Chain A
């Protein structure tokens, strides 16, 4: 945790020195928010969603549409993005929360694709393939002072603030009674029901929460890019966040997704300089991680720190249980 805050908290001061740029830092943090929210669903809840890009995209579009049609307040537009993603997530959760394992996963893909095609075809609202352009980085108005974030470094600090808030909120959630129940459902859904918990309601709630965080990240991404684009809603982009979380080690660590996101962007921006086929290598890395170290980077780190390997079967079992359903 301290390392993450030390790196991200000083990033604008040194990132240019290593040949990179502050915008990349903002992008990394936005995806960290997205992946951390997704990990509450996958890593803590054991619920595999392969259509989460839809809610990221809904957040981006909602932010833009709110900015164009409702208000020029950054906060209101962010709230609109979060609520829109949570609303559609809640609707979807009504249909999928009584499912488990592969059926849950397939339903998320189906709904994700549905949202993707709606966004692609509803051109009067989303502008289709062209995307919703000219989304502004509205000033962060704190009442006593407005903080302009048009330039990349101030924008980075704003996103860093959002990252810190997200970390605090999600850390509280996963350690709260709600978080414990969600983890119990992941481990043993039937037993949790026999203890009197309405597991369907909890699954719906955690799915909605995760969608809300995805929408928040989507809104920040729309600000970063100056537009909302349908590509982020497609199946491939939905898969990227799964890769990030699994490679990072979301099953064994709250911080795993952050590692996964950093690795993804390092691969894209450093490996990508040398080869156009960086995604092939990243995909191969994912396969190796799943085969030999399902705990991901966080698991490797824990193994080094504690000088002992966690039983490999543990994370493998999570994957297996997740896909089979219990």
Chain B
């Protein structure tokens, strides 16, 4: 049974239809990919699934519960976390503070006006563990804005992971990364697979085909193909499309 489902999602901005009858399901513990050309509606789909936009029609179901139209904070508290295509960090915080503020334990203490946020050893250890997990061990004291692009991308995922999600949505995680950084990211995501359910939008077809258990192709706001990477590799439409040249 799928942990997370989109059922017949429609999204309209004015007279422009961006999503049309999108139905997707993301099984627990699997990595599901979403691909499609620019402007296909992938990020809008993510925004609907994670609560930024309320769909015009359709339902979003998480663990059997209808979460359609709930605000992002409520969806996040249920165990859904996301990273962003355009990096969305707390730039004036250190890497450690970025992760710290994302921890559920920190959120539970959010209205603590007296305690020392950076003085809690337990919280700091958890933050350090997350940083280590995403390959940023030892970079905790550096300001996020001073990190390299690749490290910022890793931190972006670290912040999403720190929320201890059951479902992690990754929006173009390889965007702007070099070959080495993509390899490191692939290694990280491979480690996460099986631990949590991951849904990734990705332009880098090789990357996605190498990691995903199943992939949905979105074009003109509709799901036009679905299948395993092997099935899609063999699909003439995908082979002839401009989605990326498969080697």
Binding site for B on A (CB under 8 A): 172-173, 175-181, 183-184, 187-188, 190-199, 202, 205, 314
Known: A194-B82, A196-B77. A176 touches B92 (CB 8 A): no
Q: By the criterion CB–CB under 8 Å, are B111 and A178 in contact? A: yes
Tell me the smallest distance from the CB of B52 to a CB of chain A, in Å.
Answer: 8
The 3 A-B residue pairs with the shortest CB-CB distance in the complex, in nearest-first order: A196-B76, A196-B77, A177-B109
Q: By the criterion CB–CB under 8 Å, are A184 and B73 in contact? A: no
Tell me the smallest distance from the CB of B78 to a CB of chain A, in Å.
Answer: 9
Q: By the criterion CB–CB under 8 Å, are B93 and A178 in contact? A: no
Q: By the criterion CB–CB under 8 Å, are A199 and B73 in contact? A: yes
User: Which residues of the partner chain A approach B135 to less than 8 Å between Cβ atoms?
Assistant: none
Indicate whether B117 reaches chain A with its CB closer than 8 angstroms.
yes
Chain A binder among B98-106, B186-194, B200-208, B229-237: B98-106
CA distance A314 to B104 in the complex (A): 29
Indicate whether B178 reaches chain A with its CB closer than 8 angstroms.
no
B114 CB contact (under 8 Å) in A172, A180, A195:
A172
Residues 114-140 of B, flagged 1 when their CB comes within 8 A of A and 0 if not, give 111110000000000000000000000
Q: By the criterion CB–CB under 8 Å, are A194 and B50 in contact? A: yes
Interface centre among A178, A196, A199 (most CB of B within 10 A): A196
A-B contact pairs, 15 of them (CB 8 A): A172-B114, A175-B117, A177-B115, A178-B110, A184-B90, A184-B93, A187-B91, A190-B52, A190-B88, A191-B159, A194-B72, A195-B73, A195-B81, A197-B110, A202-B110
CA distance A191 to B99 in the complex (A): 12
CA distance A202 to B102 in the complex (A): 15
User: Which residues of the partner chain A approach B97 to less than 8 Å between Cβ atoms?
Assistant: 180
A180 nearest CB neighbor, chain B only: B117
Q: By the criterion CB–CB under 8 Å, are A193 and B101 in contact? A: no
Tell me the smallest distance from the CB of B162 to a CB of chain A, in Å.
Answer: 8
B82 nearest CB neighbor, chain A only: A194
Excluding A184-B90, A187-B93, A202-B110, 12 further A-B contacts by CB distance (< 8 Å) are: A177-B106, A178-B112, A180-B100, A180-B101, A190-B88, A191-B84, A191-B88, A191-B159, A193-B76, A196-B76, A197-B73, A314-B92
Q: By the criterion CB–CB under 8 Å, are A188 and B73 in contact? A: no
B113 CB contact (under 8 Å) in A172, A190, A196:
A172
User: Which residues of the partner chain B approach A199 to less than 8 Å between Cβ atoms?
Assistant: 73
User: Which residues of the partner chain B approach A177 to less than 8 Å between Cβ atoms?
Assistant: 106, 109-112, 115, 117
Q: By the criterion CB–CB under 8 Å, are A195 and B113 in contact? A: no
Indicate whether B154 reaches chain A with its CB closer than 8 angstroms.
no
Known: A187-B92, A196-B73, A196-B76. A181 touches B110 (CB 8 A): yes
User: Which residues of the partner chain A approach B82 to less than 8 Å between Cβ atoms?
Assistant: 194
CA distance A202 to B117 in the complex (A): 16
Tell me the smallest distance from the CB of A44 to a CB of chain B, in Å.
Answer: 11
Known: A178-B112, A188-B89. A195 touches B101 (CB 8 A): yes
Indicate whether B95 reaches chain A with its CB closer than 8 angstroms.
no
Tell me the smallest distance from the CB of A207 to a CB of chain B, in Å.
Answer: 14
Indicate whether B71 reaches chain A with its CB closer than 8 angstroms.
yes
Q: By the criterion CB–CB under 8 Å, are B117 and A176 in contact? A: yes
